[in-house]
């Protein structure tokens, strides 16, 4: 973007419905919630990767994963 800000490539409606109306931080407090958050983050990472291949800026989700305590390799 021209002002240097990165836009998070997430549709907030997807989060709301996928996490049963919880925020990602609320959902990540339980094992089942962390799995849901992880699945969503993987979807968003894949979308970001496809956008990058199309010439759009990449978005790194590692800070979000760290903040939520949701590593990419959870079972």
Q: Are 57 and 3 in contact (CB under 8 A)?
A: no
pLDDT of res. 39: 93
pLDDT of res. 4: 52
Q: How distant is the alpha carbon of residue 73 from its chain centre? A: 14
Q: In this predicted model, what pLDDT tens digit does every residue of 10-69 receive, in sequence order? A: 666 777 788 998 989 999 999 999 999 999 999 889 988 998 899 988 888 999 999 999
Helix (H, G, I), strand (E, B) or coil at 14: helix
First-to-last alpha carbon distance for the chain, in angstroms, is: 36
Q: Are 61 and 37 in contact (CB under 8 A)?
A: no
pTM: 0.78
Domain ranges of the chain: 12-66
């Amino acid at each position: 973007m021209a002002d240097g800000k990165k836009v998070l490539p997430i549709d907030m409606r997807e989060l709301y419905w996928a996490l049963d109306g919880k925020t990602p931080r609320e959902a990540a407090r339980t094992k089942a919630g962390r799995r849901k958050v992880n699945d969503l983050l993987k979807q968003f990472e894949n979308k970001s990767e496809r956008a990058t291949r199309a010439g759009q800026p990449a978005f790194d989700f590692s800070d979000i994963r760290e903040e939520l305590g949701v590593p990419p390799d959870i079972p």
